[in-house]
Structure 1
Amino acid sequence: MQIKETNIKDCYELEPRVFEDQRGYFFESFNQKRYAELTGFMVNFVQDNQSFSTKGVLRGLHYQKGESAQAKLVRVLQGKVLDVAVDIRKDSPTYGNVFKTILSSENYRHLFIPRGCAHGFVTLSDTATFFYKCDNYYDPKAEAGIIYNDANLNIDWEITDSELIISEKDKILPHFKDLVIH
C-alpha cells in the first residue's frame, strides 16, 4: 500500500498494491498496522456503510459534530465518483482547504478523511457503489453539512448543475462561512 499526503492535514490517498492475473485481481483494502506505520496514528473503524447512486447524484458535503465526529476511509466498489474533502477544523493549518480526487473501481484508490472534515461525492459513471469505514458510530443528532455550491469553497464538481441530483436536505445546508463547529 502506498500513502500520499494531500493538501489537508492528516488526509491521505491510499493506493493498494494490486495483484492481477488470469483469474482476476486481489488486494488488501486496509491493514491497520501498515496504516499506523505509514501515517503515525492508529485508527479503529467501528462501522461500515455502503451506498448506490446513479449518474449525477451528489451526496454532501456532510460531517458529524462534536463527540460524534467521524474519520472515514472511502472507496468505490463499482463505478466512478469525484470525491471531495473540506477541512473545517478551525485550529488546523489547512482550515478551509478542499481536496478532490477520482475514486473508481478501476483505480482502486481509497481516501482517508480525518475527523473534522466535511465529505461529499458526485457519481460520474452511470452507477456507482460507494463504500466507507467510519471510526465512530453515526449519530443523527450530530449530523451537519455545508452547501455543495458554496462560493467560498468554489468546488468544481465536474458535472453541470442541471445534471445534479441532490436531496432536499442537502440543498439547504449552511454556507462554509456560517459554520458553527463544536
Structure 2
Amino acid sequence: MYPVQSYIGTINLDPAYTPRKLIHKQISEAIILSLDPEFVLSIDNDHINSNHIELLQNYGKEDPVIFQIGQALKKEIESRSSFQVYVDSLTVCLSAHLLRYYSTTKYNFKEYKGGLSKNQLDTVIEYINSYLSEDISLKTLANITGLSQFYFSRQFKKSMGISPYQYIIKKTN
C-alpha cells in the first residue's frame, strides 16, 4: 500500500502491469489517466525499442505538464462536444512527456526539418475538408502520411503554422 499525499498538481505514476493499492486521504478530486503501453510506444514506433523502455514509478511528485494535460483532457471529455483530434493530441503529448522524463532510458525525439511534403499536406488537407463534419482522429491523419501521430503533429504544425486541431477548428468556424 502506498499512502498518497494530495496536493494540487501532484502525480502518482504506476508503470503498466504494476499492481497497486492506494490509500487516499482527504482527496477531493483526482484524475486517473490510463494509457495503453502500446499506444505510448507507437508515438514514435520507428525509433523506440520497446524492449528498452520502461516507466519509473513516481508518487507525490509535482509535474505541472501532466497536471495541465490531465485538466485539459478532463475538460474536453466533459464538454460533450469534444474533438477526437484534440483528445488524441493531448494523449500523444502526455505519452511523449512520459517517455522523455519518466522512462528508465532517457528518450530524445528526433528532429525533422521542413514539415510535410506538398503531396502529404495536400492529401491531409483534402481529407480534412472531405470529412470536416465527422470526428477526425489524429491517428487517421497520421496514417495518411505514413508518420506516427507524434511526428505528424509536429510536421503539420511546421507546414501550416498551427496544430491539426487548431486547423480543424478554424475550418469549422
TM-score tier, shorter chain, comes to: under 0.3
Name the structure where strand makes up a greater proportion of residues. Answer: 1
Name the structure where helix makes up a greater proportion of residues. Answer: 2
Q: What's the TM-score, normalizing by structure 1?
A: 0.27
> Quick one: higher RCO (CA 8 Å, sep 6+), 1 or 2?
1
